[in-house]
Chain A
């Protein structure tokens, strides 16, 4: 008995979920629905009356069946720029190539393109075929001016425009936009044109660079391009250590004498190398030997 009631309830559920051709009983406001593959019914009459057409327990709203992929209908001479006019994710039904991507599990092959998330995730350049770029150029042409006809050889360009500035931009997929190599800009000057003027300019620049501005005296240790051992904490440390290690006296003369010793020079070189060149095993070894010699180990 319990089973019978269960059955009837299931059937009644089925009734509620049943789909009449073209119209969903659960959609009393008759909003736009999907048509089935079979036929499109003139829906207005049948609205209120659930027909037993597509009956069955748990019959969901039947979906429209997927058609053939577009690739089946693509001629060889088609206009690819119409298929991929802009940057769009990979659509396996629109790309007529048997592409495979992914890890071959269990000695198999990489998975095919159908349902392949990896192909969708990566950036693609399907919208930038040579033909597409040609079209872009054609579209940009009205906005460009003609190249001056007089500058037809490289030599003439160099003659009129001797100073060339070359900068590079880098594109990569990563966590940061920045690429330190992009900061390097090359400025090229060719001397074959007006040599005298060029020399005059360089002389002026040279002399100007020697002038010390007032604000330059505010340069701090952090601004220095290179490490200099004089007046560094390293020098102070080693001097105080050595002075304490010596038994006799203090004062400038002792300091000068200590600074002149070859071990101290070696130590100075090793520290400068460490700081300027960065660390490596060999520079560390050099530092080690210098310290050992200096402190009589």
Chain B
């Protein structure tokens, strides 16, 4: 398309990039967090300074915005795709491209009426088209707007590869998944630290003969209990979801609740888990899935449900399936109905060019300079 124009732009970039000071980079950190590079943003065609998702608009389409490092740990403890996490670690910054599906979602969220029943939005598209990243972009928006974010990074993780299945104490025919539940509670706690002391429980929860959580206690206490007492963590998750559902959009101290589920098609369909007599476990027999399905219903208000479909990681779904009904099945479609499907397409030419500039040229070049400076110092 415009490859000759591209090379011209690249020549301009070469003239403007300075070698970096090696000592400023410091050591690579183990975790996903990184330092903000104080590099002059001379090349701005594919980058935008608008780092607040609420202010992004059509003019920023295709451009990369940087997620502030302070947000990274809190907003995305577990939500990002693994490849993207690797990229962040390599490049020392988290840049997300502003794309049409995310912008559409954010505009819906801005204009929605939160006194009406919850809207469900479903991101669908072929493999690798950017559904999870669009979801993360939307989650970042919700987080910057002060919403409470319930992010389930992959619903399929709850229906497969579960080593421990305990029979539920609350309901005889259901099964608990302590490890998955406590992991999720830990990450939930990291994301929503500031809400945990503000939200008070509306009813009393009894866990064992001696233990209970009283009405009026902060939500944080419940979550801490779930993280420490792993055996009852699935029921704690159920209680947390119920409280949030009741209190979202309330008039006094109300907050908005964003339920972001990746791979929502895992909640209906089949699991690979087996009971002790080798018979298969249906998804509704799992406490976590049962409670999450209740969240996805639109019988509560004051928030939004944003979900993506995912074929990778799904069970018993053909690899070419990507449309909602194929992956959700009849039961899932009927539960989600009515929802707003948001199609996510593969990269357009313009987006691809910006990626090329970002990763292969700009990042690759400056990364090489960085490396050279480091080795030179040694």
Closest to B301 in A: A244
Q: Do B326 and A279 have beta carbons less than 8 Å apart?
A: yes
B342 and chain A: residue at smallest CB distance: A288
Tell me the residues in window 166-186 of chain B with beta carbons closer than 8 Å to chain A beta carbons.
none
**Which candidate, B87-95, B110-118, B218-226, B358-366, is the interface stretch facing chain A?**
B110-118
Bound form: Cα–Cα A245–B323 in Å:
29
- Interface residues in B319-340 (C-beta closer than 8 Å to A): 323-326, 334-335, 337-340
Residues of A within 8 A of B325 (CB): 274-275, 278-279
Q: In the complex, which residues of chain B have a beta carbon less than 8 angstroms from the beta carbon of A233?
A: 334-335, 337
Type the 1/0 row for B109-132, where 1 means its CB is closer than 8 Å to any CB of A: 001110011010000100000000
Known: A241-B117, A244-B116. A295 touches B341 (CB 8 A): no
Q: Out of B334, B335, B338, which one reaches A295, CB within 8 Å?
A: B338
User: How would residues 224 to 266 of chain A score, 1 for a CB under 8 Å from any chain B CB and 0 otherwise?
Assistant: 0000000011100110010011000000000000000000000
> Could you list some 18 contacts between A and B, CB below 8 A?
A234-B334, A238-B337, A241-B338, A244-B116, A245-B117, A274-B325, A275-B325, A279-B325, A279-B326, A285-B343, A288-B341, A288-B342, A291-B340, A292-B340, A295-B116, A295-B340, A297-B112, A297-B119
A271 at the interface (CB under 8 A from B): yes
The tally of residues in A whose CB lies under 8 Å from a CB in B reads 26
- Main secondary structure, interface of A, reads helix
The answer to whether A297 touches B341 (Cβ under 8 A) is: no
CA distance A238 to B335 in the complex (A): 11
Q: B314 near A: Cβ within 8 Å?
A: no
A77: interface (CB < 8 Å):
no
Q: Shortest distance in angstroms between B268's beta carbon and chain A's nearest beta carbon?
A: 13
Beta-carbon contact of B338 and A294 below 8 Å: yes
Flag whether B298 is at the interface (Cβ < 8 A): yes
Task: Please count how many residues in chain B sit with their CB below 8 Å of the partner chain's CB atoms.
Answer: 22
Query: In the assembly, what is the distance between CA of A5 and CA of B338, in Å?
Result: 91
C-alpha gap A279/B330 in the complex (Å):
12
Q: Which of chain A's residues has its CB closest to B321's CB?
A: A279
Chain B CB count within 10 A is highest, among A275, A280, A294, for A275
Is B9 part of the contact surface with A, judged by Cβ < 8 Å? no
Task: Report yes or no: B337 in contact with A284, Cβ–Cβ below 8 A.
Answer: no
CA distance A292 to B334 in the complex (A): 17
Judge if B229 is at the interface, Cβ distance under 8 Å: no
Q: Is the CB of B341 within 8 A of A234?
A: no
Give CA–CA (A297, B104) in the complex, Å. 11
- The 9 A-B pairs with the shortest beta carbon distances in the complex, nearest first, are A233-B334, A279-B323, A279-B325, A245-B116, A291-B338, A234-B337, A244-B117, A288-B341, A237-B337
A136 to B226, CA, bound (A): 79
Q: Contacts A244-B116, A295-B119, A297-B111 given: A271-B324 contact, CB under 8 Å?
A: no
Contact between A267 and B117 (Cβ–Cβ < 8 Å)? no
Residues of A within 8 A of B324 (CB): 279, 284
Alpha-carbon separation in the docked complex, A277 to B117 (Å): 30
A288 and B337 form a contact (CB under 8 A): no
A287 interfacial by beta-carbon distance below 8 Å: yes
A152 within 8 A of partner (CB): no
